[in-house]
Amino acid sequence: MRFAVSLLMFICVASLIGTVLQQNQAASNYIDKFGPFWFAIFDKFSIWHIYNSWWFLLIMAFLVVSTTICLVRNSPKMVHDARSFREYVRGSSLRSFHHRVEATAQASPAESLARIQQWLGSQGYKFKVRQDGASMLLAAKKGGANRLGYIFAHAAIVVICVGGLLDSELPVRLQVWLGGKVPITENMLISQVPDSGRLSARNPSFRANMMVPEGAQSSSGVVSVDNGVLVQPLPFSLKLNKFLVDYYSTGMPSSFKSEVEVTDPQTGKSFSQTIEVNEPLRYKGVTVYQSSFDDGGSKLQLVGYPLVGARNQPFDINGAVGKATEITVNNGVQQAPLAIDFSGLRVINVENLAGDVAPQPKAVMEHVASVTGSAAGAKNENLRNVGPSVQYRIVGSDGQAHEYTNYMLPMMLDGSLVFLAGVRDTASQPYRYIRIPADADSSVAEFMDLRAALANPALVHEAAARFAAKNANSGMQQPLLQKAAAGALETFSRAGFNGIIEKVPEQDREKVLGFAVPMIQLSLMELRDLMRGQAGKPALDHDGAPGQDAEKWMQMALLALANLPDYPAPIFMTLKGYEQLEASVFQVARSPGKNTVYLGCLLLVIGVFSMFYIRDRRIWVWIKPQGRGSELLAAMTSQRRTLDFNHEFDRFKEAFKRLST
């Protein structure tokens, strides 16, 4: 019993960990939270999925065995003791009881016995009489079900643990350990999965996931096992006719449900049903829960802009969420293959965009950065839907990959209309954003033209010459200023402001930037005019309100160009259009242990009620003749001698004296 209690304490501690620590998350989340060292230690104990870890299941199995042995050994004794009247107690031993009473009666022993039997029967006692010569011993008991409470309570532990084992991964893992099942770790179609990667349709217990796009159907779930998956066939097929989702004003989904059609392959009959979060589908012993939703392969139309070289010709890109697209990027020097993996489409994005605050000055090394973390910044308070966004991964020819998120529409941030473009190295990191200013057509076309012009040496030297002609104090100073401006533009194009100050001593960097930033900005304004002239666009007005707008646009372009060296992508993509296709994510479970756990809970309630609210009480009355009357000796006892028991003995004592008179 002590061993069983110790195991129960381990299970309680493990359950506490599993409740506090969010389970079944990506490993990168736990690495960020605990660090690589503690992650490696905790991972050996599988606390990320503690309820299905080998040691948790082993403890539960030991608890079942230990408690079962305890029940087998002690239950017969308890049942025998509950049924026994203990009528072989000697009369002389009753005098040693603390709760006893003695009396003499004028009635004969048989008459006294009849009176006491009648009173005990009225109080719910069962009794048995033992004749010992001329004397008699009356043994009575009530509340023998108290012993059954111990049996039911311990049996409940066994039943609940067995139900938990049935609904755990143990049935699936036993098939992996002993049945020759091998989890699939490669990407393949379900039809290509071999028999070793498929579970039986008669699998007694499983918990699988199933994603069904709108208009598609599926008859198989996927069970995660270690680093792979096993395919679980279902006794029916499920088709998603329509997915419905409602949103709060914050952009979070308020409710979502799926209109499905279920078909039984054995009978060919089908029926329709709506699955909601708290209203699952139950059919043929399988329960289908609405777990979440995802993109079902939405079709995307994007426009790509080169970010390398002097080419600025945009090109169309078509893709689908969940699929990879192969393109070839021509940067004017060579053609480079590129793999783009579109990972998501978010139609609604609610961000905090309040405020009209000018950009705040930052540290020298960071004053060109615009946004880190949240796309809108933590100081804004008003929520606004900023439109769709697309997420994708770009895998270069060197095998390195980065994740990107781009918004389809420009948004007003700090008084400027900009496009947000985010990048991160891994899924565990927050996105780092750059702001690209929108032109008069609410696009990034003019900024991309400016970027391409900055990579054109001829245009850069001509822009530097114009800058020097307008800002040189003398004819002798003009060549030097032109050379400085051209060199600054070239370095800025290659490495941003970091390239300009990387060889400058720390104490002189502010001074160098104070001279270089205005020179680069004015040179870029000249470069913009040259670029617009070559494209046949009208010249910009640099006076009055139009001039202020042009200067503000150039300031945002300057910051964006400074950030481009830290934007590791050969192309920039904007979302032009999409055809959304939703998909429902279902959790499919066969849980025979559920009814077993319900039975265990019922036994536990009965057991606890019996132990705490049913008191085992026993009364012995020794009757022996004394002259024409009789001599009476009675004793009363209970397992728990509480205050209520003392009151009950007092009532028995008074009744006993009345019966003896």
Residue 158 has pLDDT above 50, yes or no: yes
Residue 363 has pLDDT above 60, yes or no: no
pLDDT at 251: 62
pLDDT at 291: 87
> Counting beta carbons within 10 angstroms of the beta carbon of residue 500, is it exposed (0 to 12), middle (13 to 18) or buried (19 or more)?
buried
SS3 239: strand
pLDDT at 292: 85
Angle, nearest 10°, between helix axes 145-166 and 54-83? 160
The structure tokens 């080419």 sit at 311
Confidence category of residue 370, pLDDT binned at 50, 70, 90: very low
Q: Which of 348, 451, 355, 357 is nearest to 407 (CA)?
A: 348
Quick one: how far is CA 172 from the chain centroid?
A: 22
pLDDT tens, position by position, 376-408: 444 445 567 788 999 999 876 667 789 999 999
pLDDT tens, position by position, 303-314: 999 988 888 889
> Which amino acid is it at 40?
A
Q: How does the average pLDDT of the chain come out, rounded?
A: 86
pLDDT tens, position by position, 237-280: 999 999 988 877 666 677 889 999 999 999 999 999 999 988 99
pLDDT: which is higher, 379 or 438: 438
Residue 338 has pLDDT above 80, yes or no: yes
pLDDT at 448: 95
pLDDT: which is higher, 65 or 336: 65
Average pLDDT for 100-113 = 90
Measured between alpha carbons, how far is 39 from 37 in angstroms, rounded to an integer?
5
Which residues, 6 or more positions from 181, have their beta carbon under 8 angstroms from its beta carbon? 172, 175, 196, 197, 199, 230
Confidence category of residue 358, pLDDT binned at 50, 70, 90: very low
Residues 271/250, Cβ–Cβ less than 8 Å: no
Residue 348 has pLDDT above 90, yes or no: no
- Taking the CA atoms of residue 420, residue 426, residue 429 and residue 434 in that order, the dihedral angle to the nearest 10 degrees is -20
Q: Which of 19, 125, 137 is nearest to 89 (CA)?
A: 137
pLDDT tens, position by position, 456-492: 999 999 999 999 998 888 766 888 899 999 999 999 9
Confidence category of residue 90, pLDDT binned at 50, 70, 90: confident
pLDDT tens, position by position, 273-284: 999 988 999 999
Q: Which of 631, 621, 607 is nearest to 145 (CA)?
A: 607
Element containing residue 118 per DSSP (H, E): helix 109-122
pLDDT at 218: 93
pLDDT at 116: 92
